[in-house]
Amino acid sequence: MQEIPKNHPRYQSLILRKKISEAHKAGVLAESGMIAHGRGEAFDYLLGEKTIPPAKRAIEVAAAQILLAQNPVISVNGNTAALSAREVIELSNKSGAKVEINLFYRTPERVDKIRRMLHNSGARKVLGTNDEDHLHLKGMEGPRSFVSAEGIYSADVVLVPLEDGDRAQALIANNKVVITIDLNPLSRTARSSSITIVDNLVRALPLLIQEVEKLKGEEQYKLEEMVRNFNNQVNLNDSLKAILGSYHADVKP
């Protein structure tokens, strides 16, 4: 593929596209994953391609929630692996959250490729692989309903970046706290999750890692207070206001 010149005004965006299209060629990304990425790009443009204040707030609360959890799990799909495999593993190492592959378009080949990618990024243990016996998550159909017994099935908190609405709703119905990272504040996932970070995965994950490190020594009651004081619907409305407001004044044409 052609080299992207560093001085290109949309360098960062083109680098992400390159990662996405290479991951598709490598069989990691579902075909629909490219469409999902394009939709994300449009929303990111409206956000000014930066982390808006409501997202920063949601990231702080998400970090507190992950640190409070008994069995936190990061659910990984093709897009997440393609864009942020290293950060997923870093977050897992720093927070103690488990890593589980859970795919909409599940095939043994894709699972294996994503597993290898996660191991190459430093993962010690990956759940949801082809070798594991899976349990059925109530209220879900298809391959996404197969979850790991020690992972999503028994998790109290699940981080599901870049997800489809059905799964977020099914996880909530199974009494999980759902944290999502979704550029679209109007999506079903964004609306039904417990904590929605309206930001690009590639910006949100490094900030989430930083926040986990910062809050690690914090007293439990303070973390609980942060979670209690957070209202996802209010934060989503603030995200919409940010889109409509002046936050995107400096977007590059």
Contact residues toward ligand PTJ (CB under 6 A) are 30, 32-33, 36-37, 39-40, 43, 77-79, 83, 103-105, 162-164, 181-184, 187, 200-201
Give 163-167 contacts, CB < 8 A, sequence gap 24+.
Answer: 163/75, 163/77, 163/189, 164/104, 164/188, 164/189, 165/189, 165/191, 165/192, 166/140, 167/102, 167/104, 167/140
Smallest gap from Cβ 218 to ligand PTJ, in A, equals: 27
* Cβ-based nearer residue to ligand PTJ, 28 or 69: 28
Smallest gap from Cβ 54 to ligand PTJ, in A, equals: 14
**Interatomic CA distance for residues 8 and 27, integer angstroms:** 28
Count of beta carbons in the 10 Å neighbourhood of residue 26: 11
Smallest gap from Cβ 56 to ligand PTJ, in A, equals: 15
* Cβ-based nearer residue to ligand PTJ, 65 or 196: 196
3-state SS class at 209: helix
The residue with tokens 């992207």 is 4
* Cβ-based nearer residue to ligand PTJ, 37 or 176: 37
* Cβ-based nearer residue to ligand PTJ, 45 or 105: 105
**Interatomic CA distance for residues 187 and 196, integer angstroms:** 10
Residue positions counted in the chain: 253
Give, as one character, the DSSP assignment of residue 70. Answer: S
Smallest gap from Cβ 253 to ligand PTJ, in A, equals: 21
* Cβ-based nearer residue to ligand PTJ, 94 or 143: 143
Smallest gap from Cβ 30 to ligand PTJ, in A, equals: 4
* Cβ-based nearer residue to ligand PTJ, 110 or 176: 110
Choose among 22, 46, 43: nearest CA to 33. Answer: 22
Helix and strand numbers (H, E) in the chain are 10, 7
Question: Checking DSSP bridges between strand 157-161 and strand 72-76, what pairing results, if any?
Answer: parallel
3-state SS class at 215: helix
Choose among 2, 100, 88, 53: nearest CA to 198. Answer: 53
3-state SS class at 173: helix
The residue with tokens 């989430």 is 208
* Cβ-based nearer residue to ligand PTJ, 68 or 112: 112
| Residue of closest CB approach to ligand PTJ | 40
Smallest gap from Cβ 246 to ligand PTJ, in A, equals: 22
Smallest gap from Cβ 33 to ligand PTJ, in A, equals: 4
